[in-house]
Chain A
């Protein structure tokens, strides 16, 4: 079974703190993603990585950065957390290729910024 593991399920951080969300997948997938999910807005792509050290901005990258030093690990970084970044964050992975790919999600990380 594909496993995408997010290290922190629930976090509470203060405004201005630097926040790291970690994600590991065990299926040797090339593609990894970070989404945030908010009521009424659905899933929105923050960043995408298609290879080690490679990244592309998604629809809402402002206020976020990412790091992919190893194939299995993709980190989301909030340089200076703000209250409007309170959300559910979902990591996902999929194999490379433009066609016929399934995307698998982690359990989610609930971040509250106070």
Chain B
């Protein structure tokens, strides 16, 4: 099935640093979602975005819905060791039930 381009694929950062990742698509979406998945667990919703240009925060996390509706980014500020995991985006195709998922960004935080 179709997947969204997500970058970077993986990153190692120092505790306290900020992190940025993004997703791009050739399709227009009406919803962008960001999830975190720990090993062996299901994805947990972090942030949901419903409007082009929308900027939403959840604690140290901030995500934006791109103006073109074809991209989104997620920022994590002042990372901590428990931020380790896989982050992935999802976009919902307008007027459908279909969600397309990103390839994931594996984050490792070095204490």
Contact = CB atoms under 8 A, between A and B. Distances in A.
Interface string A72-105: 0000000000000000001000100011111111
Contacts of A110: 40
Contacts of A108: 40-42
Contacts of B35: 105
Question: Interface size for chain A: under 10, 10 to 19, 20 to 34, or 35 or more residues?
Answer: 20 to 34
Contacts of B103: 42
B41 A103 contact: no
A43 interface: yes
A75 to B, nearest CB: 17
Contacts, number: 60
B49 to A, nearest CB: 10
Interface in B1-53: 1, 3, 30-31, 33, 35, 40-45, 48, 50
Contacts of A106: 42
B104 interface: yes
B41 A94 contact: no
A68 interface: no
B94 to A, nearest CB: 6
A44 interface: yes
A98 B42 contact: no
Interface of A: 4, 6, 31, 42-45, 48, 50, 58-60, 90, 94, 98-108, 110
24 contacts: A4-B42, A6-B42, A42-B1, A42-B102, A43-B101, A45-B98, A60-B1, A90-B42, A99-B30, A99-B31, A99-B92, A100-B31, A100-B92, A101-B92, A102-B31, A102-B33, A102-B45, A103-B33, A104-B45, A105-B42, A105-B43, A105-B44, A105-B45, A108-B40
